[in-house]
Amino acid sequence: MKFADIMDGLNIKKEAEELGVPIWQSPSFLFAMMGLFIIIAITIVFYISRFYDSPEILVASESAIVAVVLSVGNIIIKSVEQMARANKMKSEFVTIASHQLKTPLSEINWELELLLSKNNAGLTEKQLEIINTIGRSHQTMMRLVNDLLDVARIDQGKFVLNKEKINLVSLIDEVVQNHQIIAKASNVEINVEKSEMVPEIVGDKRRVGIVIDNLVSNAVKYIRNKGFVEIKIESDEKNISVYVKDNGIGIPEKEQSKIFQKFFRSNNAAKYQTGGTGLGLYISKNIIEQSGGELSFKSIEGVGTDFWFSLPINNNNT
């Protein structure tokens, strides 16, 4: 662990802001106070034992120390319980709200498909453009709702992955094809280096596809002017690894430790792309790790970013 990470973990004010509680209610502050009380109490007992030989006085002073420690400990426990209850209520609210949103969004999708498949003959070009815009907005909302549901499931320990055979080469080709229009419009070239001998793995095909989609989508949208995205697939006896490299804006070094946190977006990313929830990489990391693999990256601001993940060929962890 880096020294900067240790110091960041000791930042009580930052912890309180992230938890949404006053500084004096943050667990780190309460633990620090508890430690301070114990040190002071031990010092007092030490000096009392030097000047008083009476066992009654020593027992009374030690009892007072125990009472103080138990009181502070009780405050810490209640504080942590309160935050745990609030986090549970938040996760439950997100789950309920997301499920409720899915129904009207599904109805919108059905109506759009019906309109475009059976009633589009009399529509003007402008009307078709408006309908397509509504369709894109609908897809964005559906992705957001699905992301929120996945985050809630992860927080509640209910994130379940399916088991099926996955051909990563075909899955990557499908994802790349879906991004080609946006890539060309952004003057970005996507290159895939692959081998047809890559073995299949067992995992959740839809969610592994989400991981690849997140990495490729981020690579494309955070490239300024002309650029490239290189995707490479490698395998050995135990693992298959996928690499996604770009020459985009990169991630500032001081923010790299937070990149897999919920809702986090680096300052330069938020500057270039106002959209985004900061959930994609958090969800992706959980998908890969629960599939028995690893997801990591290296990045230089202004130069580019390399993301890669590996999955076991004989996957018994999904």
Evaluate whether 230 touches 189 at the Cβ level (below 8 Å): no
State the CB neighbour count (10 A cutoff) for residue 119.
9
Please report the beta strands in the chain, taking only residues with DSSP state E, as ranges in sequence order: 164-166, 188-193, 201-203, 227-235, 239-246, 294-300, 304-312
CA–CA dist 131, 147 (Å, integer): 24
Instruction: Write down all domains in the chain, each with its CATH number in brackets.
Output: 1-159 (no CATH), 164-312 (3.30.565.10)
Per-residue CA distances from 136 to 131, 132, 277 (Å) = 9, 6, 17
Contacts of 167 (CB under 8 A, 6+ apart): 198, 200
* Cα–Cα dist 128/157, whole Å: 43
Positive/negative CA dihedral, 221, 151, 149, 81: negative
Amino acid 203 reads G
Distances (CA, A) of 244 to 146, 195, 239: 24, 16, 17
Instruction: Give Cα 3 to chain centroid, integer Å.
Output: 23
* Cα distance between residue 317 and residue 292, in whole Å: 5
Residues 120 and 132: beta-carbon distance below 8 Å: no
Q: What pTM, to 2 d.p., does this model score?
A: 0.70
Enumerate residues 6+ apart whose C-beta is below 8 A from 146: 98
113 exposure class (CB count in 10 Å sphere: 0-12, 13-18, 19+): exposed
Nearest to 113 by CA among 83, 146, 138: 138
List Cα–Cα distances, 19 to 15, 22, 84, 205, 295, in angstroms: 6, 9, 11, 35, 26
Answer whether 156's CB lies under 8 Å from 288's CB: no
Each of the 318 residues of the chain gets a pLDDT tens digit; together they read 454 454 555 677 776 666 666 776 677 777 777 778 778 777 777 776 777 667 777 677 777 777 777 777 777 777 677 766 766 776 677 777 777 777 888 888 888 887 777 766 777 888 888 888 888 888 888 888 888 888 888 887 888 899 899 999 999 999 999 899 889 988 999 999 877 678 889 999 999 999 999 999 999 988 888 899 999 998 888 899 999 999 999 999 888 988 998 888 888 777 776 566 788 899 999 999 999 999 999 999 989 999 999 999 875 544
Torsion angles phi and psi, residue 49, rounded to 5: -65, -25
What pLDDT, on the 0 to 100 scale, is given for residue 289? 94
pLDDT in tens, 276-303: 678 889 999 999 999 999 999 999 998 9
